[in-house]
Structure 1
Amino acid sequence: MTRAPSPALVFGVAVTGIAIFSSMDAVMKGLVLQLGAFDTLFWRTLAGIVLTGAIYLPARKGWPTRSVMRVHLIRGGVSSVMAVTFFWGLARVPMAQAIALAFIAPLLALFGAALVLKERIPPRAIAASLVAFAGVGVIMLGQATAAPDPDRFRGTVAVLISAICYAYNIVLMRQQALVAGPSEVAFFQSVIVGGLFAIVAPFIAHVPDAHHAPAILLAAALATVSLLILAWAYARGEANYLAPTEYTGFIWASIWGWVVFREPVATYTLAGAALIITGCLIAARRRAVENVEAAF
């Protein structure tokens, strides 16, 4: 019999997936500033179909059943709205602020998992998310001291809409991972999102210059790898346990925002990050203790 991976390993893999996904955000922000949100997403998704298809199609054992395809379609539709609103907003606000705003998603996902997946919400999951969410509050307090900017406000609203979609997406990620393998999840995610974008592409899409191709391919590769890794983790851990790993994306957003876009990291941001990390550690440590106790 194959031994199930430890909760700590699953948690660590999910954190790695978020790190890769956050790195993709930095590449995407650069592209969005040059090409626009839709063109960037459309061409990245097309590249993603090629990459995920090369992994999934040669090894597939059959096509998904109707019920499984329904889950793929729902998540693909939600992901389309989530991606467009997030990257449109990301071009208008600093990376760290955008990720901080998106952190309402894991908190909402805890209750979404209970409603959709019938998962029990243990007290330590609520405590961990509330501690991390307090960190987001500290960051937003710092952002409130900045001068008002109408374009940044619109970007903030777009990111908040994306965060609501992402909360549902986290629940769907767990639901999808229970009925499909990582390569299938990544492939159909790309195909469905690409298909939805293709409906409007003839009216608003533009062919980018060739020099943008390496960045588009890099974004597609990072998105594919993160999808595979997160699908593996969510197939082995409950959504309410893994949701707090989303908070670690803030650390990478702060680093890439400063390194690539020269976006400063304020003291409020650092204080909030400390609370975010604390929340994640509470979630990981408490779950590990519960599993040790269950063995005796």
Structure 2
Amino acid sequence: MSPNARAALYMIASMAAFTFNDTCMKLAGIDVPLPQLVLLRGLIACTLIYGLARHLGALRFDLPRTDWVMLGLRALGEASATYFFLSALLHMPIANLTALMQALPLAVTLGASLFFGETVGWRRYAAIGVGFCGMLLIVRPGPDGFTLHAVYGLASVACVTLRDLATRKLSARVPSLTVALTSAFAVTGLAAIGSVGVDWVQIDPRLGLLIGCAAIFVFFGYLFSVMVMRLGEISFTAPFRYTGLLWALVLGWLVFEQWPDGITMLGAGVVVASGLFTFYRERVVAAS
């Protein structure tokens, strides 16, 4: 298999791992307070990521100040996105929230244009505008405005955009697993602070299994995403991130007996089509 073909498979596996993690967290979140849930998952995930990074020699902390600033911004975005995303996930169908997150590539493209001065032509701006209209079809504000959980979902898109924009500014000397580990520590640290004022619940074997599986899925999600970056071309592999929506649809139907209505599916289709067109235009511009 070519490097791009293998990278595409790793991207699909990464999206599957993250979606299975979301499913486990949604199930466990019925009985476990969110800060406790994220803290327990984070402790296991940090241990796994640290062990892999040490094994591969991918830990490096003698970095220039600019990289540490970007790592800090990235960790802030990751931790904030985790809180908003999981808060929304516990109250929204998993497929609806996943569909909303598919607008992330559009938001990153817009952010790179606004903050980094990257050139974006009118076609991509138009695709971004159409994609954001698709987002409105998914969240559908009523007469009283957005629901709180829809706002949390939109906030998670903004926070992940901050994370990805900060990642773009990291120098090549920063190992990918060092990036993953610092973000995992930030998420776990925020959960530890939030859990101080929370009444913890006893973890029975079922909950322990769900939390352990969530940690393992997050670990493999990080691992496969790192392998994607090392193997394939971003412009080729990025569209395969939309397979996460397919996993969310299947798991939402099988596990939670939830299926998005027609308007939500239409919005998801608009967002995905806009993102695919944006990727296509990026390849055209890069080749010219």
TM-score normalised to the size of structure 2?
Answer: 0.79
Q: Does 1:22 align with 2:19?
A: yes
Q: d(CA) in 2 for partners of 1:158 and 1:52?
A: 28
Contact 1:22 / 1:252 at 8 angstroms: preserved in 2?
A: yes
Contact 1:247-1:280 at 8 Å conserved across structures: no
- Residues paired across the two proteins, number: 283
Task: Find 1:185's aligned residue among 179, 187, 205.
Answer: 179
User: What percent of counterpart residues are identical?
Assistant: 23
What displacement does 1:285 show? 4.5
- Decide whether aligned partners of structure 1 residues 40 and 61 sit closer, same or farther in structure 2, where only a CA change above 3 A counts: closer
- Paired with 2:256 and 2:217, the residues of 1 have a C-alpha distance of 19
Structure 1 spans left out of the alignment, 5+ residues:
none
Give, in angstroms, the shift of residue 164 of structure 1. Answer: 1.5
Where do 1:35-184 residues align within 5 Å? 35-60=32-57, 63-64=60-61, 65-67=63-65, 68-122=67-121, 125-126=124-125, 128-141=127-140, 153-176=147-170, 178-184=172-178
Deviation at 1:261, TM superposition (A): 0.8
Superposition RMSD in Å: 3.5
Q: Which residue of 2 aligns with 1:270?
A: 265
CA distance in 1, matches of 2:181, 2:51: 9
Runs of 4 or more off by more than 6 Å in structure 1? 240-244
Q: Which stretches in structure 2 are left out of the alignment for 5+ residues?
A: none
**For residues 33 and 132 of structure 1, what CA distance do their matches in structure 2 show?**
32
* Contact 2:78/2:160, CA 8 A, preserved across alignment: yes
Residue 152 of structure 2 aligns with an amino acid whose one-letter code is A
User: 2: CA distance between counterparts of 1:126 and 1:188?
Assistant: 33
- CA separation of 1:96 and 1:269: change in aligned 2, threshold 3 A: same
TM-score by length of 1: 0.77
- What displacement does 1:137 show? 3.8
Letter matched to residue 32 of structure 2: L
Cα 1:228/1:283, change in 2 over 3 Å: farther
SS of the aligned residue for 1:35 comes to coil
The residue aligned with 2:213 is 218
Whether contact under 8 Å (1:135, 1:275) holds in the other structure is yes
Whole-angstrom distance in 2 between the partners of 1:229 and 1:179? 20
Partners in 2 of 1:223 and 1:61 — Cα distance? Answer: 18
String of CA shifts for 1:32-85, please: whole Å, max 9, x gaps: 122122121111111101110110123326632143333323222221121112
Q: Does the 8 Å CA contact 1:128/1:244 hold for their aligned counterparts?
A: no
Relative contact order (alpha carbons < 8 A, sep ≥ 6): 1 or 2 greater?
A: 2
